[in-house]
Amino acid sequence: MDELERVDPELFNLIKQEETYQIESVRLIPSENYVSRAVLQATGSILANKYSEGYPGRRYYEGQQFIDQIETIVIERAKRLFGAEHVNVQPYSGTPANLAVYTALLKPGDGLMGLALPHGGHLSHGWNVSLSGNFWRPIHYTVDRETHRIDYEQVRRLAKSERPRMIITGATAYPRQFDFKIFGEIAREVGAYLLADISHIAGLIVAGVHPDPVPYADVVMTTTHKTLRGPRGAMILCRKEIAPQIDKAVFPGIQGGPHNHTTAAIGVALKEASSPEFKNYGCQVVRNAKALADELLARGFQLVSGGTDNHLIVIDLTNKQVIGRKAAQALDRAGIVCNYNTIPYDPRKPFSPSGIRLGTPAVTSRGMKEQEMRQIGAWIDKVIARIDDETVIARIAGEVREFSRQFPAPGLIQ
Ligand code: DSN
């Protein structure tokens, strides 16, 4: 990045500092990852210079001979990898992609039913502070108070009484698997579309360690930068019959020109995700999450739903008498990066909730395994137990730095 350093040393230095931070910390935010150098190179390529409104073979600008080929390759890779009939690779990210799906298939005021935000759902699934909760009629199902799992009978009852036009399955903080088959049955019983938002778990589905929604959902949406390990972007997968509506909603409905550098980088990530190594990666993500969960349970932590069967863990810190925000801040000072999070039926407010959320996609990309998860669990325990002891936290920060440097992160030069 020598030219960047020469032209803009201020931003160069901040990027370098962030790079060092990414190398020297244990990154447990479940939606983050490390992309490969190949993905970084496509993202930073000259494709950033282009405008190409429209779709391959149907553009509003000339000069698309290479862009059309690139986008077509990426679409075909996504169709093959997920077994989808149609794929749109242009959404800028997950929320615009979800808005495009709603715009394509719903009328204003139609019922939109998703998992409530405090129970692990996403803002764009109809929460009131999002456009999705105002433009369409929000309906929310919750998790069971005891098991913290989706109660499919409650979903069915609610769907029958509220008659949503679309049901969404998917979450940002749900540590268990989704039963897409039951969701599909419920959607059909009430004449609703089923949207599966697999942003968090796309890489696990590709690896075969989470059930696949494609046979059951009308539309599948995923971001491309979480367990799928691509650039910041999104894709919409759907059946052929609704493809024209979906495409029209993305462009010209919601967006202008696609970000071609991102499209190409998504293609690189899809190629990488088609490899046997990626399957091993996905399996290890889940094994690592289970190992971390077991270590935390053994150390007296309470986990939402009692554990995990995917890539993420939500800790309820109530019994440790530490609030989530303070815990996440202290862990960050120790070099362990996570986020504070609500727990189901949280008596506290979202800006200062009772829990923290952890995930293993990024640490697994660095080659860490079960043994390292046990070490990370021990550090988390120590930080929470000595939350006001800056000497202990500084000592752990030194250990974490040294430890992290032993695990090269894809895409970063160490
Ligand atoms: N912000 C993402 C997450 O952290 O789960 C979802 O959009």
> 258-295: per-residue pLDDT in tens?
999 999 999 999 999 999 999 999 999 999 999 999 99
Q: Does the Cβ of 120 fall within 6 Å of ligand 1?
A: no
pTM over 0.75: yes
Both tokens assigned to 136 = 């369409």
Report the alpha-carbon distance of residue 23 to residue 4 in Å, rounded. Answer: 20
- Higher-pLDDT residue of 349 and 141 is 141
- 161 pLDDT tier (thresholds 50, 70, 90): very high
Q: Could you identify the atom of ligand 1 that is nearest to the CA of residue 29? A: 4
Specify the DSSP class assigned to residue 158. Answer: H
Q: Tell me, what's the pLDDT at 407?
A: 97
Report the alpha-carbon distance of residue 366 to residue 406 in Å, rounded. Answer: 9
Q: Does the Cβ of 361 fall within 6 Å of ligand 1?
A: no
- 16 pLDDT tier (thresholds 50, 70, 90): very high
Q: Tell me, what's the pLDDT at 413?
A: 74
- 325 pLDDT tier (thresholds 50, 70, 90): very high
- 350 pLDDT tier (thresholds 50, 70, 90): confident
Pick the CATH number of 40-273 from 3.40.640.10, 1.10.10.2120, 1.10.287.1770, 3.40.720.10: 3.40.640.10
- 126 pLDDT tier (thresholds 50, 70, 90): very high
Residue of 149, 232, 369, 395 marked catalytic: 232
Q: Could you identify the atom of ligand 1 that is nearest to the CA of residue 200? A: 5
Q: What is the mean pLDDT of the segment spanning 248-262? A: 98
Q: Tell me, what's the pLDDT at 236?
A: 98
Report the alpha-carbon distance of residue 349 to residue 53 in Å, rounded. Answer: 42
Q: Are 382 and 322 in contact (CB under 8 A)?
A: no
Phi-psi category of residue 367: left, alpha or beta, with phi > 0 → left and psi -120 to 50 → alpha: left
Share of the chain above pLDDT 90, in %: 98
Give the residue ranges of DSSP H helices in 25-124.
Answer: 37-43, 65-82, 94-105
- 334 pLDDT tier (thresholds 50, 70, 90): very high
Specify the DSSP class assigned to residue 310. Answer: S
Would the pLDDT of 412 be above 90?
A: no
Share of the chain above pLDDT 70, in %: 100
Closest residue (by CA) to atom 1 of ligand 1?
A: 31
pLDDT, the chain, mean: 97
Pick the CATH number of 280-404 from 3.40.640.10, 3.40.50.300, 3.50.7.10, 3.90.1150.10: 3.90.1150.10
Our answer to whether residue 53 is catalytic in this structure is yes
SS3 335: coil
Q: Tell me, what's the pLDDT at 261?
A: 98
Q: Does the Cβ of 31 fall within 6 Å of ligand 1?
A: yes
Closest alpha carbon to 98 in 260, 249, 232: 249
CA of 197 to the centre of ligand 1 (A): 12
Q: Summarize pLDDT for 354-410 with one digit per residue, the tens.
A: 999 999 999 999 999 999 999 999 999 999 999 999 999 999 999 999 999 999 998
Q: Could you identify the atom of ligand 1 that is nearest to the CA of residue 93? A: 7
Would the pLDDT of 59 be above 90?
A: yes
Q: Does the Cβ of 64 fall within 6 Å of ligand 1?
A: no
Q: Does the Cβ of 305 fall within 6 Å of ligand 1?
A: no
Q: Does the Cβ of 222 fall within 6 Å of ligand 1?
A: no
Residue of 142, 172, 223, 262 marked catalytic: 223
Q: List Cα–Cα distances, 156 to 109, 187, 194, 356, 382, in angstroms.
A: 21, 9, 13, 30, 43
Q: Could you identify the atom of ligand 1 that is nearest to the CA of residue 172? A: 5
Q: Does the Cβ of 359 fall within 6 Å of ligand 1?
A: no
Q: What is the mean pLDDT of the segment spanning 31-54? A: 98
Q: For the chain, where do the domains classified as CATH 3.40.640.10 start and end?
A: 40-273
CA of 121 to the centre of ligand 1 (A): 10
Q: Does the Cβ of 170 fall within 6 Å of ligand 1?
A: no
Q: Tell me, what's the pLDDT at 107?
A: 97
Q: Summarize pLDDT for 296-324 with one digit per residue, the tens.
A: 999 999 999 999 999 999 999 999 999 99
CA of 304 to the centre of ligand 1 (A): 18
Give the residue ranges of DSSP H helices in 87-222.
Answer: 94-105, 132-135, 152-162, 180-190, 202-206
Q: For the chain, where do the domains classified as CATH 3.90.1150.10 start and end?
A: 280-404
